[in-house]
């Protein structure tokens, strides 16, 4: 999926997670989830995260390629370990929710994701191609459904 789709879906995932845990979906937490939703693509130098962190992105891309370890549950566990070591494990929940939303979204494309990396098996439910009209419609529908299901107001003119 494209960066804009990941941002929207990351924020939506945070709203749903916040409602399920009984807390308000604060804007800062939604922004953290949106950022987390962009992080798995650090393995692609042309992605938003890859362009911001080229010193990490370029070598990572050369070693593991796109949709490798950064698109796995191992990366989630490693990220949680790093955040826990830094003392921000619990506060980083929105970031992790966004990261997981990215993996789920990429599973909706034909390429899928290697959730159990280094096992090469890819998990996919291919319902849309990256950057196509189906992706756009799917993201819009999921955003609208999130707003409806969580009782968020829909702006006029939408």
The pLDDT of residue 153: 60
Q: What is the pLDDT of residues 67-116, one digit of tens each?
A: 999 999 999 999 999 888 888 876 789 999 999 999 999 999 999 999 99
- Domain count of the fold of the chain: 1
Token pair for 141: 């529908």
Q: Does 88 reside within a domain?
A: yes
Q: Does 77 reside within a domain?
A: yes
Partners of 113 in the beta sheet? Answer: 123
Q: Does 107 reside within a domain?
A: yes
The pLDDT of residue 38: 98
Token pair for 99: 């990261």
Lowest mean pLDDT among 43-52, 76-85, 102-111, 131-140: 76-85
The pLDDT of residue 71: 97
Q: Does 155 reside within a domain?
A: no
- pLDDT band (50, 70, 90) for residue 148: confident
Q: Does 156 reside within a domain?
A: no
Domain that holds residue 99: 3-150
- Asked whether residue 122 carries a pLDDT value surpassing 90, the answer given is yes
* Contact in structure between 16 and 97 (CB atoms under 8 Å): no
To the nearest 5 percent, what fractions of the chain are helix, strand and coil? 65, 0, 35
- Asked whether residue 155 carries a pLDDT value surpassing 90, the answer given is no
Q: Which residues contact 122 (CB under 8 A, 6 or more apart)?
A: 111, 112, 113, 114
Q: Does 48 reside within a domain?
A: yes
- Asked whether residue 154 carries a pLDDT value surpassing 60, the answer given is no
Q: Does 7 reside within a domain?
A: yes
Q: Does 18 reside within a domain?
A: yes
pTM: 0.91
Q: Average pLDDT over the chain, rounded to whole?
A: 92
The percentage of residues in the chain with a pLDDT greater than 70, rounded to a whole number, is 94
């Amino acid at each position: 999926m494209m960066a804009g789709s990941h941002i929207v879906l990351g924020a939506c995932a945070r709203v749903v997670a916040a409602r399920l845990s009984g807390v308000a979906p604060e804007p800062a937490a939604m922004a953290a989830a949106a950022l987390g939703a962009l992080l798995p693509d650090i393995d692609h130098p042309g992605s938003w995260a890859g362009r911001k962190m080229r010193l990490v992105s370029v070598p990572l891309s050369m070693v593991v390629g796109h949709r490798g370890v950064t698109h796995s549950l191992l990366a989630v566990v490693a990220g949680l370990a790093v955040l826990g070591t830094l003392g921000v494990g619990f506060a980083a929940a929105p970031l992790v929710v966004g990261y997981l939303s990215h993996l789920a979204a990429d599973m909706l494309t034909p390429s899928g994701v290697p959730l159990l990396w280094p096992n090469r098996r890819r998990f996919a439910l291919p319902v849309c191609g990256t950057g196509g009209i189906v992706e756009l419609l799917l993201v819009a529908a999921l955003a609208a459904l999130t707003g409806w299901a969580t009782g968020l107001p829909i702006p006029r003119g939408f």
